[in-house]
Structure 1
Amino acid sequence: MFSRKKLLFYATALILATYFLFLGLTKAKGFFAPLLTAIILSLVVLPLAQRMEQKMKRPVAAILNSFFLFAISVGLMALVSFQVRSFAEDWPQIKKTMEPQIEQFKNFALKHTPLDQEDIQEAKKESSKAPSDTSEKIKTFMSGLSNFLANYLLTFVYVFFLLNYRQVFKDFIMRVFPDEKRDTVKTIITKSAKVAPQYLIGKLMLMGLLAILYSIGLGISGVNNFILVSVIAAVLTLIPYVGNVIGFTMAVAFGFLSSGDTNVLIGIALTFTITQFVESYVLQPYVVGERVDVHPFFVILSVILGNMVWGIIGMILAIPIMGIITVVLLNINDLKAFGILLSKKEFSD
């Protein structure tokens, strides 16, 4: 009876602790999201920083690597903004091209669904109404934009300090633990630092191959600016699962909506279906492979949790963070069972 009560107590405590942990992480997104992003980015450029430090001082190398990451992020945002602007400029022509398809869809809905003409007219009136709280929406947008820019710039400031003072942080971690544990701690730090760079190298190779496959398929299908669309769709795969949906939607917008040709839509659907099959069963196992040792089931769970806690940035950080957690658990004897559970490697008895 006592053991049952004890088990119930520990189970309840674990559930409550997990709930309040994720609730706290959600509330503290503005603080932890830029910091964890900076940690992952610092680990990514750490090998480059170490090579640069052989020829220059560490602060200079840290600044250059921070600017390097900043330039890459600005370039990616410029690509996306260019494509959005191109879509906005083509919008009048897209509306004109899609009018026959919209009319066909309306007629189909009237014949095969309970909707009638009055429902469609009411929907048009609702969609055409101007928002009454425009000023409030502008304030909300400006507030969100200012928060994003602040966190965005703060991330690269964190990267500089993490690279420049990494030895201080490493010494602190080493001294927190007793002497007999320091070899284990050193091993964990060394292996954990390799997870993010290895994951990024695999993803970069994967994105390059996906960009080529997308370019071939979308080019044959007749999508406008198919090379740029293919590159952006490949980059969006950094966001697990959701990135593929966004890439497909963008290709449809610049292909089918611009031309109104059903054959283009079929070509886009075939391109993404075939490419996703090749990615899942050929490229992902052999290109990314063993670079991040996390079981696919827990990859999906971590991505879902990341989305629930921090949205898109949580989904991007989920896999490398899970990889680091797996490394830590596998190298601590008391917690190794949990590491084996998260790992995709097979362990013998």
Structure 2
Amino acid sequence: MNKAHKTLLFPLVALLVGAYFLFSGLAEAKGFLAPLVTAIILALLLIPLGNLIEKKLNRTFSSLLSTILLFLFSIGVFVLLSFQIKSFVDDWGKIKATMAPKIEQLQNYAYEHTALSSKDLETYKEKNDIQSMLTSSGNSGEKAFNFINSVTSFISNYLLTFIYIFFLLNYRKRFKIFILKLFSNQRKREVKQIINETARVAQFYLRGKLILIVILSILYSIGLGISGVSNFILIAVIASFLTLIPFIGNIIGMSLALIFGYLTQGETSILIGVILTFTLVQFIESYVLEPFIVGDKVDIHPFFVILAIILGNMIWGVMGMILAIPVLGIINVIFNHVPSLKPFGFLLSTDNSNED
């Protein structure tokens, strides 16, 4: 191996090893970092509201009021979803009865067009019934403990996020001064510009997405309601919130609508209505709402958006997928303002002006 190859190999190996330990560490620290990063992004969203309230109240009260308003909004979303889920559970017996013939049709189709036989299916059912009996009888206490532990962890992280938001809003000036003190006087102006722009990126993206979710919830509810889908409000709200996950969210939302619409009621008119609703609304979202409401403030190439979503899912699950885009947008702002990192900013963005 010549000297040039060794010079290239060592930094490459160091980069791969460093990336592995970085992402492994992020995954291990999910319980601490996920609520904190979520709080930072949401706090950036609330800064304009906090500044508006500060005209009447001091910073402590304005930060507390902004946090409480966001908390009440989240509680309202949970209450709406819980009522719709209760309605879905109450109708579960009717849904099962409606789905039974559809499942039977799928089984008959599988018997006629594949090598699968009814005997194979019965054997599979018996095997899984025995396994479920063995596992459920011995691990019921463990499952109950894991469930309670998961619920407790979710509630604690949920409340902790809002505590973080309050402190981040209340002491935001102190944090900003701390960051500025890390740099020389010659670079403070540039660093201040980076801080302001990263805040604007997060605010613009999240505010636009929030408005988009409200509009999409209304449009989906109208379309699914006219189509005759039961629990259409629940499906519409879930499908709208899934748009926080680019590309994948729309596919999952449409799949849920098809499952809980057509399969549970079995009418072809509902199938056509669901497909038309999602096709039309997603067309409006992509070509009318998204450009005007969200715009291109988060200037990230679609290829790296997909990579960020996959990586976010691997590290922090669904929360990682939601946070991936605003976090990547903030990182891209930093790349574009640091001379040595500008090539990475060009790679991540959709800017083609410097291409040969």
TM-score by length of 1: 0.93
- Matched residue count: 349
Determine if the alignment matches structure 1 residue 334 to structure 2 residue 340. yes
| Structure 1 residue matching 2:300: 3-state secondary structure | coil
Determine if the alignment matches structure 1 residue 25 to structure 2 residue 60. no
Determine if the alignment matches structure 1 residue 52 to structure 2 residue 58. no
Q: Summarize the alignment of residues 145-164 of structure 1 with structure 2, pairs less than 5 Å apart.
A: 145-164=151-170
Superimposed CA distance per residue, residues 189-243 of structure 1 (whole angstroms, 9 cap, x where no aligned partner): 1111111110022213322442343234313321124344323321221233343
Alignment CA distance shift 1:210-1:75 (3 Å): same
Q: Please give the alpha-carbon distance, in whole angstroms, between the structure 1 residues aligned to 2:164 and 2:141.
A: 34
The amino acid that maps onto 2:155 is: L
Please tell me whether the aligned partners of residues 52 and 61 of structure 1 are also in contact (alpha carbons under 8 angstroms).
Answer: yes
Determine if the alignment matches structure 1 residue 97 to structure 2 residue 98. yes
Structure 2 residue runs of 5 or longer lacking an equivalent are none
Instruction: Select the residue among 163, 172, 179 that pairs with 1:173.
Output: 179
Q: Which moved more, 1:239-248 or 1:158-167?
A: 239-248
Superimposed CA distance per residue, residues 246-281 of structure 1 (whole angstroms, 9 cap, x where no aligned partner): 422432344224422133123212322333344334
Q: Please give the alpha-carbon distance, in whole angstroms, between the structure 2 residues aligned to 1:219 and 1:229.
A: 10
The answer for the alignment partner of 2:10 in structure 1 is: 9
Q: Summarize the alignment of residues 211-226 of structure 1 with structure 2, pairs less than 5 Å apart.
A: 211-226=217-232
Structure 1 residue 303: deviation in Å?
1.1
Structure 1 residue 60: deviation in Å?
0.8
Alignment CA distance shift 1:177-1:72 (3 Å): same
| Structure 2 residue matching 1:255: 3-state secondary structure | helix
Structure 1 residue runs of 5 or longer lacking an equivalent are none
The answer for the alignment partner of 1:243 in structure 2 is: 249
Determine if the alignment matches structure 1 residue 140 to structure 2 residue 146. yes
The answer for the alignment partner of 1:271 in structure 2 is: 277
Q: Please give the alpha-carbon distance, in whole angstroms, between the structure 2 residues aligned to 1:313 and 1:16.
A: 25
The answer for the alignment partner of 2:328 in structure 1 is: 322
Please tell me whether the aligned partners of residues 85 and 234 of structure 2 are also in contact (alpha carbons under 8 angstroms).
Answer: no
Structure 1 residue 15: deviation in Å?
0.7
Q: Please give the alpha-carbon distance, in whole angstroms, between the structure 2 residues aligned to 1:231 and 1:136.
A: 33
The amino acid that maps onto 2:75 is: V
Cα RMSD over matched residues? 1.9
Please tell me whether the aligned partners of residues 88 and 231 of structure 2 are also in contact (alpha carbons under 8 angstroms).
Answer: no
The amino acid that maps onto 2:148 is: M
Instruction: Select the residue among 261, 269, 290 that pairs with 1:255.
Output: 261
Structure 1 residue 28: deviation in Å?
0.5
Structure 1 residue 313: deviation in Å?
0.6
Identity fraction in percent: 52
The answer for the alignment partner of 1:80 in structure 2 is: 81
Q: Which moved more, 1:212-221 or 1:130-139?
A: 212-221
Q: Please give the alpha-carbon distance, in whole angstroms, between the structure 2 residues aligned to 1:6 and 1:213.
A: 57
Please tell me whether the aligned partners of residues 111 and 118 of structure 2 are also in contact (alpha carbons under 8 angstroms).
Answer: yes
Please tell me whether the aligned partners of residues 79 and 232 of structure 1 are also in contact (alpha carbons under 8 angstroms).
Answer: no
Alignment CA distance shift 1:126-1:138 (3 Å): farther
Q: Please give the alpha-carbon distance, in whole angstroms, between the structure 2 residues aligned to 1:225 and 1:110.
A: 33
Q: Please give the alpha-carbon distance, in whole angstroms, between the structure 2 residues aligned to 1:280 and 1:189.
A: 30
Q: Which moved more, 1:104-113 or 1:255-264?
A: 255-264
